[in-house]
Amino acid sequence: MFSLLDQLLAMHGQTYFISERVGSVLRRGLAFFPAAAIQPILQPLLARLVASFSETGYASFIWIIGKTAAKFGDVTRDPSSSDVVGQLLGGAFQEVSTALQQLVEVKSAQAIPDGE
């Protein structure tokens, strides 16, 4: 299912209402599925969210990264798994922070979309 959503974002993620609908499905999937079922797609999920935010500046992508961090924040008990998840989430937040900094350099805060 994620590959379909990933393709939708890749092809149409710059269209606000499509990105919002896909984001809604992703947020619900994060709540519905256990962390063990999501962990195999964690890296491509975070990569797509970061890339989509970098391309659009839509805040909903940051929210989904936050929901992902909340999902995995207290469920990883295996230290090796925890390290990998921590690195993936930390890297995603670092990349989004860099993208936001670049965005603020060319746009005013009021011009950055945070919803319609």
Amino acid at 9: L
Q: State how far the Cα of 7 lies from the Cα of 41, in Å rounded to an integer.
A: 14
Confirm whether 18 is domain-assigned: yes
Structural domain range at position 19? 2-109
Residue 73 CB contacts under 8 Å (≥ 6 apart), including other chains: none
**What pLDDT was estimated at residue 81?**
61
pTM, rounded to two decimals: 0.81
- pLDDT-derived band at 76, boundaries 50, 70, 90: low
**Total number of domains constituting the chain:** 1
Name the token pair of 5.
Answer: 């959503």
Confirm whether 116 is domain-assigned: no
Name the token pair of 51.
Answer: 């890339």
Q: By CB neighbour count within 10 A (0-12 exposed, 13-18 middle, 19+ buried), where does 93 fall?
A: middle
Confirm whether 114 is domain-assigned: no
